[in-house]
Structure 1
């Protein structure tokens, strides 16, 4: 018995509907989507190229700057300034009598000599903070005004360091030195900022510390003025100059 085939009929036209063929089931071709995909790849490629060129230019600029700084440093070879303590006069260094025996009073007048060994470099110093220390105890402080140290020049700086009512412990060696009138050892610290100048070029300000050790004197009980011995004083300079940070 023959099998019956049922065909769908289009009610509007009356023609039978046949199932779609394989060619009709294939996806339609969309040229616009393909162009969009290609454009995205092209934009991504352009971004990568720009990043590579920017990286290359940055490396080139840094290389040129480093080479220029190296040549500049070799040409000028700036050396840090040197400092020496010319004289120190002690007008007061005693323990006050009264309610407390642990209060030390001091007064120093000193002269500091600064030398610039460079032919083409000028040092411009800010105001200087001064601190006197004995056996790790701060016994006085003071300040010096800002100053300029020209090429191959020597400058003398004067300052007063004072300490009133500085409290120390009972077992402090400073107190024992005073009571037993032993030789007192003192170091002086100078803290400031400085910048270098060569022609129209200047560096950024950097911190500098000068520590002068080896000052010694005998306590005099608050009578008269005593000149401290500075023959063995040595001043160390800690300056961190960044030659690469020049401004015009």
Structure 2
């Protein structure tokens, strides 16, 4: 008789060639693939779309277009101004006024011991307007006299309007009362008997056409070639000799510069 198998005895397991147990009723287990060592997996943040770049090209394009139109506008203004100036010149033929010293009398010129100057100069200035269609509107006229670079007197003439093709004679007293001089200047004037004089006329004048008046621009007339001596007594004859040459220049002020 065969020995009875104990109840708790386990059935024998099948073993493969390698000595490992076989499960599933003897069916061999699938072998696991060998693990391969690789680089560690890096964390990648989720993709986020970038905002579009600012539209600078459009702004730059607008600035360029604005500068171009502004330049064209300024060129057109200059072109129109040149045309208007050309038409004005052809129609009116403007000429600048002229000035000359018609008479001069040095009534007194004294330098005290304390270097104080007292002088009086009677002057007649002739202003001419050579234009046929333009009148001149003068502001106040400042007249100064100097001898060897030393100012010996100043005077003022009230403004006036000069008609077309007109000659106006203006009389003015140029004087100095107690003006302090440098010792060198005082000695120079004391040692002279005849005085070379430079007359300077400063004013502003505008053009008048009918009821239209333009803005005034500066005018300076510098007269040289005059020599005078002090006239004694009640002599009325002019004490000037030589030829008085007056050069007229326009003085245009742009901001803080005068041309």
Provide TM-score, normalisation by structure 1.
0.70
1:170 Cα deviation from its structure 2 partner: 4.7
Instruction: Supply the distance in 2 between the matched residues of 1:238 and 1:188 (Cα, whole angstroms).
Output: 14
Deviations 1:182-224 (A, max 9, x none): 322222211121122334554332211112222322335x643
Q: Map of 1:68-217 to 2, 5 A cutoff?
A: 68-96=84-112, 100=113, 102-168=115-181, 169-170=183-184, 172-177=187-192, 182-217=193-228
Structure 2: give runs of 5+ residues left out of the alignment: 1-30, 35-45, 254-259
> CA, structure 1 residues 63+138, in 2 after alignment: closer, same or farther (shift >3 Å)?
same
User: 1:81·1:117 contact (CA, 8 Å) conserved in 2?
Assistant: yes
What is the alpha-carbon root mean square deviation over aligned residues?
A: 3.2
- Which protein is bigger by CA-based radius of gyration? 2
Structure 1: give runs of 5+ residues left out of the alignment: 5-24, 243-248
Greater CA deviation, 127-136 or 63-72? 63-72
> CA, structure 1 residues 54+107, in 2 after alignment: closer, same or farther (shift >3 Å)?
closer
Bigger relative CO (Cα 8 Å, ≥ 6 apart): 1
Greater CA deviation, 101-110 or 121-130? 101-110
In the alignment, which residue of structure 2 is the partner of 1:224?
234
SS in 1 for 2:240: coil
Greater CA deviation, 229-238 or 123-132? 229-238
